[in-house]
Amino acid sequence: MRWDSSEAVAIRQVRIAVFVEEQNVPREEEFDAIDPHAYHVVAYDANGQPCGTGRLYPDPFHPEWARIGRMAVLRGARGTGCGAAVMRALLAEAWKQGFRTVVLSAQVHAIGFYQRFGFVPYGAHYLDVNIPHQSMKLVMTHKPDEA
């Protein structure tokens, strides 16, 4: 989905709730120049309410790689499969766009979530907006499961 779609309001709501309100990321740092050019995914719960989001775009340093970012799941939806649905959709889109290597910057507490999809940590931990992060990479050798 594109940033100017009707679902962009839902994406913004989820990101504000998770990053700005819960994690105290400054609002001006949450939305950036990448958003209008990225592919965005939003997941909905059983009641039709947005529960999670993420974005995909070519990595600025390695344009042949995809980068996943702004993965956010509302507190009440964590552990329900919402984040996994977002990740599956993003990986499927990366494959569709021809990317075979996908990188991301994981908050340290979420490393295990990404490892379940095959991501491997590389490099040292670092701080991004005062939150510990870890670079992670996935090399896809087959089309990812979209279910």
Mean pLDDT by 10 residues, the chain (147 residues): 76 94 90 92 94 96 96 93 96 97 96 97 91 96 78
Residue 65 belongs to some domain of the structure: yes
What's the CATH number where 135 sits?
Answer: 3.40.630.30
What is the DSSP code (8-state) at residue 31?
Answer: S
Tokens 């050798």 correspond to 141
At 128 the pLDDT is 87
Residue 144 belongs to some domain of the structure: no
Q: Is the Cβ–Cβ distance between 66 and 94 less than 8 Å?
A: yes
- Domain span including residue 13: 8-139
At 15 the pLDDT is 95
- Region of residue 88 (phi > 0: left; psi between -120 and 50: alpha; otherwise: beta): alpha
> Tokens at residue 57, please?
């775009």
Q: How far is CA 17 from the centre of its chain?
A: 15
At 68 the pLDDT is 98
Residue 2 belongs to some domain of the structure: no
pTM for the predicted model, two decimal places: 0.92
Other beta carbons less than 10 A from residue 137's beta carbon: 16
At 139 the pLDDT is 96
Residue 86 belongs to some domain of the structure: yes
Residue 1 belongs to some domain of the structure: no
Q: Is the Cβ–Cβ distance between 68 and 53 less than 8 Å?
A: no
